[in-house]
Amino acid sequence: MTTLTTTTLQTTQHILDSFTRGDIPAILATNAPNVQWIHPGDPGIVPFAGTFNNIEGAVQFFQGIGQSVQVTAFEPRSFREEGNVIHAEVRIAGVGLATGKTYENVVEMAFTYNDDGQLVRYEAFVDPTSLENALRLN
């Protein structure tokens, strides 16, 4: 295992721990200026669905989460390394703030790093149906 791989795995664990604590500035500090945050779903229902570019986009991504859901469980289960990409499987449960409806998913998260160890891309792989149903107002 190379130093970069070890560093990126530690950075990924730091990102996930920071999210659990609600420490978004700590997450943003790991991001490259040209970072992309990508989450599946209908942006008309899920405010953090879509592609968010640069640090400003990452801020919008996290604001969308904070304004729409209360996360009640955030449990990393496993990690897998593939070059400069760290895959994490995370169980997430929560409640839609506007609806009171619950959701639960196991999300495959891919964290891609540049040669300097900065996050350049986050992408979530999950069927967004449960989340969309929890956020849908009708």
pLDDT in tens, 91-107: 999 999 999 999 999 99
pLDDT in tens, 44-93: 999 999 999 999 999 999 999 999 999 999 999 999 999 999 999 999 99
Taking the C-alpha atoms of residue 8 and residue 35, their distance in angstroms, rounded to an integer, is 15
pTM for this structure?
Answer: 0.93
Q: Where are the domains of the chain?
A: 3-135
pLDDT in tens, 9-25: 999 999 999 999 999 99
In contact, 13 and 27? CB cutoff 8 Å? no
CATH level 3 topology of 3-135: Nuclear Transport Factor 2; Chain: A, (3.10.450)
